[in-house]
Amino acid sequence: MATRIRLRRVGRKGQPEYRIVVAESTDPRDGRFVETLGHYNPRTEPATIQVDAERARAWLAKGAKPSNTVRSLFKKAGVFSASAGA
């Protein structure tokens, strides 16, 4: 099972909000997912990022690969430490 940590779009038309989820890489963007790790709201100033860092690190340790956007959000949220090398 190739898992990805990626964004799942929620919210009304023109007002996007995103959930950070772990999903099978072949599933659709807004389809089935394994676990919700947090949420991201780019419309607030500054953007709201809430992540369960412990669960995110556990999934990364299991081999889940984050998307480029999620990797950036994890860095801003402090999921990656300086010693992690990510």
In tens, the pLDDT along 11-24 reads: 999 999 999 999 99
For the cut 70, the answer to whether the pLDDT of residue 55 exceeds it is yes
Domain 3-77 homologous superfamily, CATH: Ribosomal protein S16 (3.30.1320.10)
Q: What are the sequence ranges of the domains in the chain?
A: 3-77
Region 21-48: mean pLDDT is 91
In terms of pLDDT, which residue wins out, 27 or 45? 45
Which has the closest alpha carbon to 48: 29, 69, 73, 78? 73
How distant, in Å, are the alpha carbons of 27, 59, 67 from that of 41? 23, 22, 17
| Consecutive H or E run containing 10 | strand 3-10
Q: Give the confidence band of 59 by pLDDT, cuts at 50, 70, 90.
A: very high
